[in-house]
Each structure stands twice: as structure tokens, then as C-alpha cells.
Structure 1
Amino acid sequence: MESAVRGPVRRRAMGAGLAAVLLAGGAVACQKDDKAGQSPAMTPAAAVAKAAKNTEDITSLRYRMTGKVPGEGQVSGEAAMSMKPLAMSMKMTVKGQATDGPVEIRLVDKAMYIGGNADMAKEMDGKTWIKFDMSALGADKEMNADQLGAGQADKNPASESTFLTGSKDVKKVGTETVGGVKTTHYKGTVTVADLKASLKDESKTVREQREKSLQQYEKMGIDSMTMDMWIDGDDHTKQFRMRGEADKGPMDMTILFLDYNKPVTVTAPPAKDTADLAEMMKQAQSG
């Protein structure tokens, strides 16, 4: 069983977990269809700042994502997430991955569950899910929350969409319809250094949330990013795209928001279908 943990299951889980947390970032979803962006008098910087401010009151969101994750390749999926309490349910497909369907990821009660398909059952004595208990794994030197892609699981996932506020060259591209919603398209470049500097005037809570978001990109080796942001008539982000060069290749992710502040319920998979990684490692060490 130990070989299964350290083999394909571990690699798939780590990759899926990283993508999950990376793709979990974002702002808010669509609102009304009868408005076409912000007031003409609002500057691009002010429009982006206003949309960023509106992310602070998000309690839940649902979104669709597509793009390229460094080291993993092309990914796509859809997710629902609750901020308080923190919970997430995501179904994600990685192009070229040898599975018989999407990988499902659930984050609930400070544990991450990955699996839900027959491939997992083949490697884990019929179990279809593997559980990563973040607190239990903290004692292991080789595997921890950061390596599993869950190191930022306690942050507000709306923070990534606010990165454009740190741009020194943000500009208005034009008006576009995205997901059936009229939006204003903005674009700019941001560096991790500028983003950190832009946090000095934020509240402690907002600063901590955005710093946690930045940590993931620093670990990936990304120093700067090009960012596009589509804002609807209610000053909420409908969609955003982030591109940058990481140590393991290019990142290019687009997040489309479907709705927000609606009830999200996530439940843990049945215990009978779940293999606990912490218990598996204990058994391997003792046996």
C-alpha cells in the first residue's frame, strides 16, 4: 500500500490539489444583464479597485475554469465554494491524464478528499476516495499541506481577482459580453513585488488574505503576470485571466464566475469508500 501512496496516487493527488487551490482563486460572479460596465467617468484604476473592494463581502461562489497549470498541462472544471465555513467541491479534468473521468476534489472539515472514480479503487483495495487530513499530515516530513496544494486552504479565494489593483499600467480594453453579461474589459501587468507593496494601505484581514494568495505564486517561481479582468455593471468581476511564467512552464488560467453568495453544501465521502492517508502511512511505518 505504501508504494501506491508514493506512486501514481500521490502524484495525481498532488497535481489535482495544486490545481484545485490555484483554480479556486477568484472574485465574484455575474449580476444583471442590462448594464454595460462602469460609469464612463470612472478611471480604469478606480473601476478595478471598486471591484476588488466588493470581493470582501463574498460568502460563497460557483465558477468554471479552464487553462494551463505549470507541470500539469491543460485543465478544466467547475467548482462551488463556501468561505465560512471553508468548504469546496470541484470536478476537474486534466487533459491526457489516464483516468476514466474527471477527478473530484472535496474540501470539508479541514480535510481534502480526492478521487471518486474507478482508477482510485484499483490502487486502494476498492476504496474510491483518499483522505488527506491536513493536521495529521503536518507531522510527516515528506508530505505536507503545501505539497498537496492545500497550503492556502484557509485563505479567502476571492483574493486572486484583486491582483490587478497592483498594476501600474492598467487600461480599459473595451466592452464585451461574457457569459451573457455585458462587461468592461481591463488589462494590465503586475509583479509580485508591486502586489506586496500595494497591501500596505489595506486592512489587516485583507492584507493577510492577499499575502496568502501571493505565496502560492512565489513558490511556483512566478515574478510577474499579465492579467485581464472583465467587470459587470454592478462592479463585480465576471471573469479574469492570469498568465505568467513559472519554474515548470507557463501558467494561463481563466476563471468565469457563475454566481455568488448562494448556499453551498459540501459533504465528506462515505467512510466505507475512503482510504485515510494518515492511517495508511502509520500502518506502513509500523508494519
Structure 2
Amino acid sequence: MSSIRTSRRRKTAGAGLAALLLAAGAAGCGTEKSPSMSPAAAVAKAAKNTEDITSFRYRMTGKVPEEGRVKAEASMRTKPTVAMSMKITALDQGADGTAEIRLVDKAMYIGGGAAAAKEMDGKSWIKFDMSALGDKGLGGGTPGAGQADQNPATESTFLTGAKDVKKVGTETVEGTETTRYSGVVTLKDLKASLKDKDKATREAREKSIKQYEKLGVDELTMDMWVDGDDHTKQFRMKGEADKGPLDMTITFLDVNKPVSVTAPPAKDTADLAEMMKKALDS
């Protein structure tokens, strides 16, 4: 009788162990990632996911033509209206190389602090009407002005236009495990890749492409770091422009969190349009 009870206990324990192993296996199957995508497919999926991003905070470091080395941190939202706040330093421009830029209500405000106030009757901000500037943009001269109205989430999708996307390996970026991909994309190929995109996506990417055309960049070498949720965590773009090398790295610090940007006080702001009108009337 004792041997029968022992046998039953062994069977019960064996059944329990088998159930435990099956459960563990089922859990493992549930959390196991799908078969590895090709590098091109992984990059395309991350690019697709940018369409769900309406706000983000990011860091920018590198080198841009004319301005030289720059570093910046910014917050941007794309809906319901476009707004951006950036603090940027052009490291090669000395004391005059630091500025704060705000983009809100279709106007760009550039603040230079006390140094700017000395030149503008005590006003530390200058206002540019972006709608009046049209496609001319702000160009160089003011640190970061040329990059301020560009959407880095849109630019992060550029690698989808490359024909030679390859997986480089895995790396940790800001404490996040990522997979790094690399490739070379020409602006010609990038334009060609837009033909099947919807109107909004196509227009957003065409706007970004124009910025590189203005710089005289024909080809970009690009690296893209994609996290476990198939979102771009970081990307780097390198190219040769008419007025020097371009080498810029954008790191996304968070996404889809509230971004609020307000215009500087009117008493501290000089309106460029009004300044020009006064100059013409004098």
C-alpha cells in the first residue's frame, strides 16, 4: 500500500513538473520575439512608427556647415499645432554662440540674452514671421536657426531610402538596448522612395529633403539605433555639404509626452518686420 502511495506521489509530482515545464514553455513562446526581420524591414517598421509620434524631447550634437560644432536640447510637438523650444550652443563661436529658440504660432523667436539686449534697446528676443520667410529659411548666422524648424522624427526615416541597409550590431543608448543599422542614401533615391507614401508623409519628408538640398548635400551616410519597441532611439547623418562637413547625431530622450511652448514677453521682443519697416521709412 505504501509503495502504491509513493508511486502515485511520483506520478503526481511528475505531472506537476511536466505542467510547470509546459507553462514555462508557453510563457517563453508568448514573450519570444517574432523571427528576425531583415535590416530593411526593421528600419521600415521603425520609420512607420514615427507616424504615431506627436511630441518628443531630443538631444542634438555634431557639426554643421558654417556653424561648426553644435550641441542642443529641444522639445517639439507636431500636433495639434507645431511648436518647438531649443537651447543650442555653437561651440566654435565663443561667447556669441549660445541662443534659445522658440517656434510657436508660426513665428520663430531667437533669444540671445544680455548680449542681444545691448544691441536691441534692451530687448533680448527677436521675432521672425515664418510664413513671411517662406522657403528661404533663416540660414546661418544665428546658432541653430538653420536646424530649428526641421523635424528630427521625419529625418530619422531617411534610412528607408537606402539600398544597402545592414545590421551593425547591438548597443546601449541612454540605458536602452538597441539594434544598430547602417546604410548610404542619396537624395535622389530618397525622393524615389516617397512615391508610394501618403500625401502628409510625402510632404513632410520632401520638406526635410529640401533642407539638405540647400546645403548642397547629395548623399548621406546614416546610422539608426532601433529599440525593442521598434522605435528609433537615435540616428546619425553624415555628408559633405557645399560649405563643409555635416555630421549630426539626434538622440530621442522621450516621446509623446506633453510639450508646451510660449512666446517670450512682448516687452522683451523686437519684431523683425517692424524693425525693417522702420528702417525703410527712416
Q: Of the candidates 184, 191, 194, which is equivalent to residue 189 of structure 2?
A: 194
Does structure 1 residue 89 correspond to structure 2 residue 85?
yes
Corresponding residue for 2:258?
Answer: 263
Does structure 1 residue 69 correspond to structure 2 residue 64?
yes
1:170 offset after TM fit, Å? 0.5
Matches of 1:254 and 1:92 in 2, distance apart? Answer: 14
Matches of 2:68 and 2:152 in 1, distance apart? Answer: 22
Matches of 1:214 and 1:277 in 2, distance apart? Answer: 27
Corresponding residue for 2:7?
Answer: none
1:158 offset after TM fit, Å? 1.7
1:180 offset after TM fit, Å? 0.3
Does structure 1 residue 236 correspond to structure 2 residue 236?
no
Task: Give the SS at the match of 1:264.
Answer: coil
Matches of 2:147 and 2:67 in 1, distance apart? Answer: 18
Deviations 1:192-218 (A, max 9, x none): 000011111111111111111101101
Letter in 1 for 2:220: M
The equivalences for 1:1-287 within 5 A come to: 39=34, 41-84=36-79, 85-99=81-95, 102-137=98-133, 144-145=136-137, 147=139, 153=149, 157-287=152-282
Letter in 2 for 1:90: M
Change (3 A) 1:124 1:147: same
Matches of 1:183 and 1:151 in 2, distance apart? Answer: 26
Deviations 1:69-116 (A, max 9, x none): 111100001000010110000000001324367310000001000014
With CA pairs under 8 Å and 6+ residues apart, which has the higher RCO, 1 or 2? 1
- The answer to which structure has the higher helix fraction is 2
Letter in 2 for 1:86: V
Matches of 2:153 and 2:107 in 1, distance apart? Answer: 20
Matches of 1:168 and 1:267 in 2, distance apart? Answer: 42
Q: Is the 8 A contact 1:230 1:238 kept in 2?
A: yes
Identity %: 72
Matches of 2:251 and 2:190 in 1, distance apart? Answer: 23
Change (3 A) 1:253 1:43: same
Matches of 1:137 and 1:215 in 2, distance apart? Answer: 15
Matches of 2:193 and 2:268 in 1, distance apart? Answer: 46
Q: Which has the larger radius of gyration?
A: 2
Change (3 A) 1:151 1:235: closer
Change (3 A) 1:53 1:279: same
Deviations 1:119-160 (A, max 9, x none): 11111111100011123456xxxx95354757994x754210
Matches of 1:39 and 1:253 in 2, distance apart? Answer: 32
Deviations 1:252-281 (A, max 9, x none): 000010001110000000001011111000
Deviations 1:141-188 (A, max 9, x none): xx95354757994x7542100010011110000001011000000000
Gapped runs of 5+ residues in structure 2?
Answer: 1-32
Please report the TM-score for the alignment, with normalisation by the length of structure 2: 0.82
Q: Is the 8 A contact 2:152 2:250 kept in 1?
A: no
